[in-house]
Amino acid sequence: MTSLVAPVVIVIALAGIFAVFVLFVGNYRKAEPNEALIFTGRRYKKKVVDEDGTVRFITRGWRAVVGGAALRIPILENIGHISLKLINLTDVRVEKAYSKEGVPVTIDAVANVHVSGEEDMLAPAVERFLSASSDQIKLIIK
C-alpha cells in the first residue's frame, strides 16, 4: 500500500503543474504592434498625476495593453481589440460648406484617421469603437 502512495502523489503533482501551465498559456495574450488589447469586466484603477503634482486615482471599466502582453483572469475578464492601423477614407464629400466669403462650395477630400496608442487618446476610441467593425468605424468617422 505504501509503495503506491509515492507514485500517486507524483502523478497528482504533475497533473496540477500541467493544469496551471495550460491555464496560463490559454489566458496569456500578446498585443500585435498595430492593435490595442482592451480588457473589460472588472474595475481598474489608474494613477493620474495632475499638472500641479497632485496624485489621484481614477476608476474605469477597462484597461489597455498596447505593444505588450498581459494575463487575462478567466471568467472575470473579456478581451476586445482596437486596430491602431491608419484608416483611409477616400470618398469624403462635404456639400454646401460656406467659404470665408460666404459662398457655398462642395468639397471632395481624402481623410486619413489613426487611433493613437497613448492611453489618454485611446479612451475615447475605446468608448466609441470597441465593438465596431472597420466598416462601421469608417461610417462613424464620416
pLDDT of residue 2: 61
Average pLDDT score over the chain: 86
Percent of the chain with pLDDT over 70: 99
- pLDDT tens digits, one per residue of 14-39: 999 998 889 888 889 999 988 899 99
Task: Please count the CA atoms within 13 angstroms of the CA of 60 that sit on its side-chain side.
Answer: 16
Q: Is the pLDDT of residue 111 over 70?
A: yes
For the record, the C-alpha cell of 20 comes out as: 496551471
| Short-list 80, 69, 57, 75, CA closest to 127 | 80
- pLDDT tens digits, one per residue of 43-87: 888 888 888 888 899 888 888 899 889 999 888 999 998 888 888
Entry pTM = 0.73
Q: Is the pLDDT of residue 113 over 60?
A: yes
